[in-house]
Structure 1
Amino acid sequence: MLEGFVGWPKEFVDKYRQAGYWQEHPLGDIVDDAVKEVPDRVAISFEGKHITYREMGQKVDRLALHLLDMGHKPMDRLILQLPNVPETIYLYFAAVKIGVIPIMTLPAHRQAEIGYFAQFADATSYAIPKEFRRFDYIKMAQAIRSQTPSLKHILVLGDDIPAGMISVSRLLEDPIEKRLEAERILKEVRPNPLWPAVFQLSGGTTGIPKLIPRTHNDYYYNSLRCKELSGCGRDTSYLIAIPITHNFSTTSPGFQGVFMAGGKVVIAPSPVPNVVLPLIESERVTTIPAVPTMIISYMSDSDLKHYDLSSLELCQVGGSRLLPEVAQEIGPRLGADLQQVLGMAEGPNFFTRLDDPEEVKFYTQGRSISPGDEIEIVNGDGKEVPPGEVGELLVRGPYTIRGYFNFPEHNVVAFTSDGFYKSGDLVRMHPSGNLIVEGRIKDTINRGGEKISAEEMENHILAHPKLLNCAYVAMPDPLLGEKPCLFAVAKGGETFSLKELSDFLVNERKIAKYKLPERLEFLEQLPLTHVGKVNKKELRRIIAERLKEEGKN
């Protein structure tokens, strides 16, 4: 077993096997089984080209054999930093099929993050595009390799690449399987389903992300349950516009769940409306996973009425809380049903169900996807709160990790002594048994000792008729420590004052005055993180800089 990996205690391994949650499937079985069952159906659509399951299986096996030929061994780590292209899927499945662990990084990561991952995980290989969105990945890879003794191979999309690097395109063109006993070789390296299969990244807003070890057993089960609860089938056309290496687009149900169902994955190179809306029309997309900012952009796009979106059946929305005011507009504007998703790369997944009443779909973030999940909502002392009260969400179950990779000092803080993951999400239980997210423990403003939930305030503020979007963040204050500042995006042509907003919040929303924003800043749009969430860290930096400049003047 890999040093630094925290597995499940034997009693839980036995429990999850006996319950049928863990079916002893390595992730490579997802592609192999689909090739046997639906070889000629379309697996992937990208830029007008369609790849069948048979073709995808051949590409995956070919790359797997090449990785072995290069000297890769089970438990080696491969940093996967590719954009939304089919090769990302091929290389992902090639790696997990032979027990190599892909580290699922994002194209927006730079040398500080990638260099850290490479050294921390002793990565053997690093897969990159030559260039993406005007950034030179070759140059970055060369610098990282010079500082990372373990890094032997740089895999690059494209043909014209520097000496000492390996072209993924050329590997895909080289039929190595004709020179080797492919079936025997791949069978010999079939990984143990209890092994770590994938390293996802923690979604923390501060510091370098931690590595999340997902095993073959738990990640397979995660995708299987999400596939079932989202209604994936052979007629599913699933559009991935969020980063393809993100946990949401990998396993909730992601491309793994869609391939289990024999459906089609449509890869979009960008999440912007003028890319996504035409693809929904041309590829008859049925399902799209998205963050709230994406959904808002599609519903407010001036060209929306020009597209035929009649195929769209389901918008899966997660990543941050979807406001009820936005949720209620998805059906009328996009003609699709809504499934709210509360998910974490560490494992826990909560879905609203397709047959839930509108109140549940609009106002909650769903309930656990597995009967094997154990959930607690606790106060600051670790004691369970009464039903309906707000507390931190703790989870233990068959697809929730027991520890971050090689980080024992943080695991003591992030997990309870009996194995519950401390999510950091503040939630309360709806009478229906679904969760309502009230914010993050860290996403609070501490105003002179009074802690204010940012998400609670944003929910109130967005009810103002002149507002399109907003972010409620802390700004430094010499007396109180922090005060609330509101960054607002107004609806086209609208304007309002801080006093007008405060009157609305006090008189219409009936909130306590100490929660009122004490500064109002207008922006054309809110800055976003690499995965489409509002970048509050950047907003806090902006307001701190402005206060500093004003103090000088």
Structure 2
Amino acid sequence: MSPRTGTAPLSLADVVWRRAGEQPDGLALVELRDTGDDLTVSWHELVDLADRTATVLTGLGVGPGQTVVAALPNSADLVTVSLALLRIGAVVCPVLPSLREHELGHVLRRSGAHVLVVPESFRGRGHPGEVIAMAEAGLAPGLRHLLIAPGHSPAPSATVPATHRLAACVAAARPAGASARPAGASPHDVAHLLFTSGTTGEPKGVPHRMDTLNRAALLTADRLGLTSRDRVHIAAPMAHHSGFLYGMWLSLLLGSAQIVQPTWNAERALRAFREWGGTFMQGSTPFLLDLVDAVEAGATAPAALRTFVITGASVPRALLARARARLGVRVCAAWGSTETCMATLSAPEDEAESVAVTDGRPLEGVRLRVTDDSGAELGAGCEGHLEMTGPLVFDGYLGRDDQTAEAFTPDGWYRTGDLAVLEPSGYLRITGRAKDVINRGGEKIPVGTVEQLLAAHPSVRESALVAMPDPRLGERACLFVALYPGKSLRLSDVQEFLDGHRVTKHYWPERVEVVGALPRNPAGKVQKFLLRDRLRREFTPHPKGAQFSAD
């Protein structure tokens, strides 16, 4: 099976188990440890652990088509649990370990999972105690079993949920014989369930079939030229496509080693690049920015790293130039979503200017169109609502036919919620979110354009332009900005900078708020709704309307 085919006729479990038979001692996985004694796992060891974990899960009543929620950090445990579920034919639902009772309870209820896997502790939280308290409060009525990983954990309990030590259970288990083992997931079965971030409402469950995930990973590998000889560094959360699909799944499908980083730290990542030779990484802007900052501060550049795919936002031109100069890496821009996987992607050989101003071009089979408010298709170069169809789009939200109907057009195209321009060259340029537009007295401000320009300001480390209420114009623009150490920035500085770039006065921010860092979700996406909420709480109507002067 070659990445060049664009399809994968076998299930991922079949591919991995076959590779373990062919290359039993080959390196499959490295889990980074802060102590330096990194865990290494061969292909034979990986499938043995997954087989034993599958025995444990079937013993808890998990069968084909059932969902198990794994609230684990990036880890070997998450990889083996995921493989075990695919071996059974069950559905893996990875979620962030940072989720608290409210969000986790929603995922458990919506998914119908009766088995949950959590760490004993992560970043100072005692997850088992929280889950048991949540269950006692009735927030997870279907939860029956709690698997706790890694290390020592509370003694097994007969309470609901019953607690079990994952490591001890796996060590005691025997792999099921061939005759007793479930058939496993078909390539056409649902294998993966993700929940949206919920930035615009209740988190929605997004199921994906195995063949969709296989195709998405292989099309990406084809565009980037990735093979089994690559090593994939996974720092983006595996509770999102960036880490799960374009990290773990991609590695397993290609047969390349994966280097798993549980918590992000740029210095630790750079040391891992030196020690384990990672060649590919995908993540949001902060990952790349932190690597560049660390190297500029004196750390050794990652010699083996060839390709970095940046997602979640357009690539600031200044950062792109710094990354190429300091890291020697080819940065590729991409666009996608939980519902669509990665739909557009630039190639390593693309011109730097194209990468900086677009979000790549469609992968094979992906069809895009841009429409106006009435649904009429617009021509190249026109901004409008981005819609998509093709082999990477999900079928519909879990248990929410109403939300599914709202998400698709009458002729079956997915409404992405993004505003975009399709360039005559075929490249896509995301210009904003339909719900992230600043409408200043009827004049819509191109948020992405202003943010892109400000990324080149010598004082600006990162910025976000958001709408603030105004009684006269409806909305005005407020710039939240994080600065480089020792730098300062006034509103007049921002306006002078934009004036120098000949940006129309109506697009200038009318307020600047300096913050230590922009709020981001674990996938790296700026949570602008938190910034807008802050401005709404502070808003008091001015007796004459206008509170800031840019007119």
TM-score > 0.5 by shorter chain: yes
Q: Which residue of structure 2 aligns with residue 268 of structure 1?
A: 261
Aligned partners of 1:399 and 1:153: how far apart in 2? 33
**1:24 Cα shift?**
4.2
For normalisation by structure 1, the TM-score amounts to 0.90
Q: Which residue of structure 2 aligns with residue 36 of structure 1?
A: 21
CA deviation vs aligned residue, 1:352-385 (integer Å, no higher than 9, x gap) = 1122222323322111222x22221112111111
Alignment CA distance shift 1:227-1:22 (3 Å): closer
Alignment CA distance shift 1:23-1:522 (3 Å): closer
Q: Which residue of structure 2 aligns with residue 293 of structure 1?
A: 286
Alignment CA distance shift 1:550-1:138 (3 Å): farther
Please tell me the residue identity of whatever aligns with 2:451: E
CA contact 2:314–2:358 (8 Å) conserved in 1? no
5 Å-filtered alignment, 1:377-456, equals 377-456=370-449
CA contact 1:233–1:258 (8 Å) conserved in 2? no
Which deviates more from structure 2 when the two are superposed, residues 274-283 or residues 144-153? 144-153
Q: Which residue of structure 2 aligns with residue 314 of structure 1?
A: 307
Matched, 1:171 2:169: yes
Q: Which residue of structure 1 aligns with residue 213 of structure 2?
A: 219
Q: Which residue of structure 1 aligns with residue 44 of structure 2?
A: 54
**1:308 Cα shift?**
4.6
Q: Which residue of structure 1 aligns with residue 520 of structure 2?
A: 528
**1:473 Cα shift?**
1.0
Aligned partners of 1:66 and 1:367: how far apart in 2? 44
Alignment CA distance shift 1:419-1:491 (3 Å): same
Q: Which residue of structure 1 aligns with residue 79 of structure 2?
A: 89
**1:212 Cα shift?**
0.5
Residue from 59, 63, 67 that aligns with 2:53 = 63
Q: Which residue of structure 1 aligns with residue 183 of structure 2?
A: 189
Residue from 266, 276, 282 that aligns with 2:275 = 282
**1:23 Cα shift?**
4.5
Match of 1:58, SS state, is helix
Match of 1:275, SS state, is helix
Alignment CA distance shift 1:215-1:375 (3 Å): same
5 Å-filtered alignment, 1:100-111, equals 100-111=90-101
Residue from 58, 79, 97 that aligns with 2:69 = 79
Alignment CA distance shift 1:379-1:37 (3 Å): farther
CA deviation vs aligned residue, 1:29-84 (integer Å, no higher than 9, x gap) = 23223213332211111132210111101111111122112211212111111011
**1:548 Cα shift?**
5.5
Aligned partners of 2:390 and 2:193: how far apart in 1? 18
CA contact 2:317–2:455 (8 Å) conserved in 1? no
CA deviation vs aligned residue, 1:211-261 (integer Å, no higher than 9, x gap) = 101011111211122222222223212111111221111223x21112222
Please tell me the residue identity of whatever aligns with 2:392: Y
Please tell me the residue identity of whatever aligns with 1:61: D
Aligned partners of 1:37 and 1:376: how far apart in 2? 44
CA deviation vs aligned residue, 1:76-96 (integer Å, no higher than 9, x gap) = 111111011100010011112
Please tell me the residue identity of whatever aligns with 1:88: L
Aligned partners of 1:120 and 1:143: how far apart in 2? 19
Show structure 2 runs of 5+ residues with no match. Answer: 544-551
Match of 2:152, SS state, is coil
Q: Which residue of structure 1 aligns with residue 361 of structure 2?
A: 367
**1:302 Cα shift?**
6.4
CA deviation vs aligned residue, 1:288-332 (integer Å, no higher than 9, x gap) = 212111211221226753325211111111122221221122110
CA deviation vs aligned residue, 1:132-172 (integer Å, no higher than 9, x gap) = 11112112211333323321111110332242301111122
Output the aligned Cα RMSD. Answer: 2.2
**1:348 Cα shift?**
4.2
Match of 2:445, SS state, is strand
Residue from 511, 515, 522 that aligns with 1:519 = 511
Percent of residue pairs identical? 26
Residue from 144, 150, 154 that aligns with 2:146 = 154
Match of 2:452, SS state, is helix
CA contact 2:309–2:333 (8 Å) conserved in 1? yes
Alignment CA distance shift 1:467-1:32 (3 Å): same
Aligned partners of 2:363 and 2:154: how far apart in 1? 45
CA contact 1:23–1:217 (8 Å) conserved in 2? yes
For normalisation by structure 2, the TM-score amounts to 0.90
**1:504 Cα shift?**
2.5
Match of 2:179, SS state, is helix
Matched, 1:207 2:197: no
Aligned partners of 1:125 and 1:78: how far apart in 2? 5
Q: Which residue of structure 2 aligns with residue 238 of structure 1?
A: 232
Q: Which residue of structure 2 aligns with residue 17 of structure 1?
A: none
Show structure 1 runs of 5+ residues with no match. Answer: 1-19
Provide the aligned length of Structure 1 versus Structure 2: 526
Q: Which residue of structure 2 aligns with residue 3 of structure 1?
A: none
Which deviates more from structure 2 when the two are superposed, residues 199-208 or residues 386-395? 199-208
Matched, 1:122 2:107: no
Match of 2:377, SS state, is coil
